[in-house]
Amino acid sequence: MKNTILIALILVLTHIPMSLLSKDSPVEKFSGTLIQGGEYTLIIEGYDWGPAVGRVVLSMGEQLTEVSAGDYTVTARRYTEYTQIPPEKASGDRNVIYAYVSDEKGNRLQSGKNITLVLAVGPDLAIGSPIQYIRNEKYRGNYWIDYELTITHKLLNKVWDTEIGRIRPLIDSFDLNGTFKDSNGITMSYASFSPETANEKSPLIIWLHGGGEGGTDASIPIIANRAANYASDEIQPYFGGAYVLAPQCPGAWMHNSDGVTTHGEEDDIYNKGLMELIRNYVSANPKIDTNRIYVGGCSNGGYMAFKLILLYPEYFAAGYISALAYQSQYISDQQIQAIKDVPIWFVHSRDDGTTIPEKTVVPVYNRLIGAGAKNIHFSFYDHVTDITGFFGGDNYYYNGHWSWIYSHANHANFDFDGSPVMLHKRPVTIMEWLAAQSN
């Protein structure tokens, strides 16, 4: 009788579900002995600033109907053989902001054998990121790193420290195994997405990554700066379902034959092979509408997207380019005339210190307008800010180079003079506009 009263009192004080207090549960381990070996699954999602572990699913082993977030602590450890991560970013606590009963994929249930912890994420919480930007003698760019969590139930002393899987929404819908060897012997990786649609023909959205996403892991170009969002339920309906192709070069799109960055003053080593890759992909997917092929990119990729438009103006129905790195001084008046009829929407920030707008996008835009271009738009932001409102809104400044945030989030909706971009007498966003362009 006394034992029953004691257990009832514990339930009242701690809100532990009765299912956790069966004769086989770890209630006997209140002495401090940790019960380790619990299994968890990471859920990694893309945010405006990059990827983060926003949720973790715990295997409980028995049926539950309720859970309290306050019962759990989470610590993270980040490390890689490629570099030494600063201590303050290598390990630390993860704040648990919510918890719910779920299935093994993190979908909420009224009753289930798993729980999902929702973890705090943010642009300044490096401890939440499973990738790391590395720059040293051997490596340059974003890389997946080792990411380990230790989750502890504070009352039951139960520990989950064994990862059994990762769920990456949107990324998991891409084929990450694409490779192509061009006529110069250069092999490029690529990620691709095929829409589920009954349409006879569907458009193709091509995204070209920035300088930090080169390499041989095709997941990096679509997660390091949220380019996977072009396959999202938010953007796909504008196109009635669209293919998405994200090629990846081994180095940087702007490299010349000596591996030195060019801003347009000389030829790069990738544009020819990249066009071969694109044509090969289109040929292998006959349901692509060849009159609706769109090319875009940021920074290095913005340079390359613009380079392809210069070389093949008749091939692309439109371009969407953020943080353009191609310098105007290396573009001839004849080239401007040749592309003035190609619809292009530029996105840039005035405080971009990497692709300085006065050298790149501002004169290029003005020259196109001066040449008589009728379907050229330019969203010129003062700063790149928090468009979610969660981290300070307009008072939070990202790096001014990160203007691709406005493209991936389909946020850009105004022209160089501040007026809304109009289509069929109504204001539109960059993706709505893009979807309407056709050769």
Q: Which residues of the chain have pLDDT under 50?
A: 1-31
CA–CA distances in Å: residue 323 to residues 208, 225, 307, 308, 316: 12, 13, 14, 16, 20
pLDDT at 426: 97
Q: Which residues contact 107 (CB under 8 A, 6 or more apart)?
A: none
User: For residues 343 and 373, what is the distance between their CA atoms, to the nearest angstrom?
Assistant: 8
pLDDT at 34: 73
User: For residues 60 and 116, what is the distance between their CA atoms, to the nearest angstrom?
Assistant: 10
pLDDT at 32: 55
Q: Give the model confidence (pLDDT) of 96-112 as tens digits.
A: 999 999 999 999 999 99
User: For residues 17 and 274, what is the distance between their CA atoms, to the nearest angstrom?
Assistant: 57
DSSP secondary structure letters along 56-123: EEEEEEEEES---GGGEEEEEEEEBTTB---HHHHEEEE-EEEEEEE-TTS-B-SSEEEEEEEE---T
Q: What is the pTM of this model?
A: 0.91
User: For residues 105 and 36, what is the distance between their CA atoms, to the nearest angstrom?
Assistant: 22
Q: What is the distance, to the nearest Å, from the Cα of residue 408 to the centroid of all Cα atoms in its chain?
A: 8
What is the number of alpha carbons within 13 Å of residue 60 lying toward its C-beta? 27
pLDDT at 26: 35
pLDDT at 70: 96
- Per the document, the length of the chain is 439
pLDDT at 17: 41
Domains plus CATH for the chain?
27-167 (2.60.40.2180), 171-435 (3.40.50.1820)
pLDDT at 272: 98
